[in-house]
Amino acid sequence: MFEHKVPGAKLMLLAGIVASGIPVSVGAQSASPAGQASAPAAAPRFNADRVPRRAALYYGAVWGIDSLGVKYTESGEIVRFSYRVLDPEKAKPLSDKKLEPFLIDPQAGVRLVVPSMDKIGLLRQSSTPEAGKSYWMGFSNRGRMVRPGHRVDIVIGNFRAEGLAVD
């Protein structure tokens, strides 16, 4: 019946599977009834870098902002924090020139500040916020202590966004 010698237990198992009519896939892909290869089942998607829904609702309701993001620039010398304004009145403290913003990275043990450039001034937007517009600020990352994948906190006066992932 079989060309190869198979130990008794394995032979019985194989014979049972064949007799039961259970389809056994030998290749990496199985054919669908239409004769096309079926796609593997997609794993549930979870993006650990995204701001959790409850936090996003909080930032929108209390601070009038959404779409918070922290990006590592190509040179690595600047880390950019950005957000979009939903409610200009609530978002005013984020653009207040009197409040000094900080980026805190507990993993690296550093606190970054917004640098002031000679001809440009502070690397942040401080104009009156408008609904629907995006705003940003750059934090000096001299020594490249903050790296992509780190979780950081942004602090501007009473505003605090915690655990944002650096992209």
Q: Is residue 62 in some structural domain?
A: yes
Q: Is residue 24 in some structural domain?
A: no
Q: What is the pLDDT of residue 91?
A: 97
First vs last C-alpha separation in the chain: 60
- Residue by residue, pLDDT tens for the chain (167 residues) are 455 554 555 545 555 555 555 555 444 444 445 555 555 555 445 455 578 899 999 999 999 999 999 999 999 999 999 999 999 999 999 999 999 999 999 999 999 999 998 888 889 988 899 999 999 999 999 999 999 999 999 999 999 999 999 99
Domain of residue 69, residue span: 53-165
How many folded domains does the chain comprise? 1
The strand pair at 101-105 and 110-113 is best described as: antiparallel
Q: What is the pLDDT of residue 117?
A: 86
Q: What is the pLDDT of residue 50?
A: 72
Total residue length of the chain: 167
Q: What is the pLDDT of residue 119?
A: 83
Q: What is the pLDDT of residue 26?
A: 47
Give me the CATH number covering residue 125.
Answer: 2.60.40
Q: Is residue 25 in some structural domain?
A: no
pLDDT, tens digit (0-9, with 9 covering 90-100), for 98-141? 999 999 999 999 999 999 988 888 899 888 999 999 999 999 99
CA 44 to chain CA centroid, Å, is 16
Q: Is residue 60 in some structural domain?
A: yes
Cα–Cα distance, 40 to 27 (Å, whole number)? 13
CA 106 to chain CA centroid, Å, is 18
Cα–Cα distances in angstroms (integers) from residue 6 to residues 1, 10, 25, 27, 48, in the given order: 11, 6, 20, 21, 48
Q: What is the pLDDT of residue 37?
A: 53
Please tell me the pTM assigned to this model.
0.70
Phi then psi for residue 20, to 5 deg, are -75, -20
Give the list of residues 6+ apart from residue 94 with CB closer than 8 angstroms, or none: 63, 65, 83, 129, 135, 156, 159
Q: What is the pLDDT of residue 33?
A: 52
Q: With residue 68 as reference, give the H or E element that holds it.
A: strand 65-72
Q: What is the pLDDT of residue 67?
A: 96
Rg (CA), the chain: 27
User: Which residues are bridge partners to 164 per DSSP?
Assistant: 152
Closest CA to 60 of 37, 90, 31: 90
Q: Is residue 20 in some structural domain?
A: no
